[in-house]
Amino acid sequence: MNIQDLIRPNIKGLKPYSSARDEFKGVPKDMVFLDANENPFENGVNRYPDPQQRTVKSLLAEIKGISQEQILLGNGSDEVLDIIFRAFCEPNQDNIITLPPTYGMYSVLANINAIGIKTVRLDENFQPKVEAILNIADANSKVLFLCSPNNPTGNSFNSKAIERLVKEFKGIVVIDEAYIDFSNEESWINRLQDFSNLIVTQTLSKAYGMAGIRLGICYASKEITSVFNRIKPPYNVNELTQQRAIVQLEKNKETQQQVLQILKERDVLVDKLKEVDFVSEIYPTDANFVLAKVDDATKRYNQLIEKGIVVRNRTTQPGCENCLRFTVGTKTENDRLIKVLRELK
Ligand SMILES: *Cc1c(COP(=O)(O)O)cnc(C)c1O
């Protein structure tokens, strides 16, 4: 597939904006920087941040086993997804394909960017209907969003189905792996070299415990990341975010321990939810949350709020009627949830 043919014409012609600090990051410390009109008195944040976030990328590259040049960082996944839209989707002309029930941001961003949305419902096991997806695609279908493990259902998509879609869809396939670190499935990062139209997104917001710093990640071919680098605002990841990400990524062992603990707690939570009499179904999950069907989701949601527990009511999502989504908390938090659920009338 020729990726250049998918890029919007106005983007293809862009030159990357070269910021004052682009060229001289990572040079010896005794340089004098009089190029960016900063206040010279050091306070930790008086300088512009590294626009290429080299240190953060080098840590991620090591953890994920990928080249730094194949990484693009953004102000949360939302910015990364928005950059994907701006690179490939022509407003009032192109469309994307999403597979509900799924993460809401794909259609929000499509609407903001005046991009059409085609939807193909997941099947009864929350798996993609490959034929239907390929059939609904037209010449303006530029991006297909696959969320695996999927939010809010929690399951991973069948890897054969994903592979067929990546091979046969004639546009960009984005696999949103926000929850991959909770799953035993292999990341599609490892297949980037096989598919030029594949983009994998991840985030530091979930397993890595840094939702507050807003750091979203995109992995793709160098050809694609170089296009994205022309679009992104030069200082889109601020200095505090970079510093905090570095500290936390250097403690990756600790993160992996937390993930194991969360998974253990998730299994306990699932077992206990099974015993709650108004819970009728618990869906298989590869993520740090559990989707469960109850008798009356809105009633149970409101009762939980009254007891000081906030969960997510997904009842309006297609295929999720009367479903609540429970994030796995600490043991203490989960125990409190279960105690309250047992006492509800
Ligand atoms: C939480 C989540 C994200 C992460 O978004 P950030 O903007 O990086 O916090 C991305 N995709 C899905 C499916 C999610 O559930």
Contact (CB, 8 A) for 206 and 258: no
Please report which confidence band the pLDDT of residue 26 belongs to, taking 50, 70 and 90 as the band edges.
low
Mean pLDDT of 113-134: 98
- Element housing 132 (H / E): helix 130-136
Among protein residues, the one whose CA lies closest to atom 5 of ligand 1 = 77
pTM of structure: 0.96
The answer to which of 28-32, 96-100, 189-193 has the lowest mean pLDDT is 28-32
Residue 18 clears pLDDT 90, i.e. is over it: no
Is the pLDDT confidence value at 126 over 80?
yes
pLDDT for res 27: 64
User: Which residue spans within 102-178 are E strands per DSSP?
Assistant: 116-119, 141-147, 172-176
> Looking at residue 263, what is its pLDDT?
98
Structure tokens at 113: 């960017």
CA of 101 to the centre of ligand 1 (A): 15
Query: Contact, 30 vs 41, CB < 8 A?
Result: no
User: Which pLDDT belongs to residue 24?
Assistant: 67
Which ligand 1 atom is nearest residue 211's CA? 9
pLDDT digits (tens, 9 = 90+) for 281-297: 999 999 999 999 999 99
Cβ atoms of 17 and 232 within 8 Å: the answer is no
Q: What whole-number percentage of the chain has pLDDT above 90?
A: 93
Cβ(78) to ligand 1 under 6 A?
Answer: yes
Task: Report the separation in Å between the CA atom of 215 and the middle of ligand 1, taken as the mean of its atom positions.
Answer: 10
CA distances, 203 to each of 49, 95, 262, 334 (Å): 20, 25, 17, 24
- 203 CB near ligand 1 (under 6 Å): yes
Tens-digit pLDDT profile for residues 198-249: 999 999 999 999 999 999 999 999 999 999 999 999 999 999 999 999 999 9
Q: Which residue has the higher pLDDT, 123 or 26?
A: 123
Mean pLDDT of the chain: 96
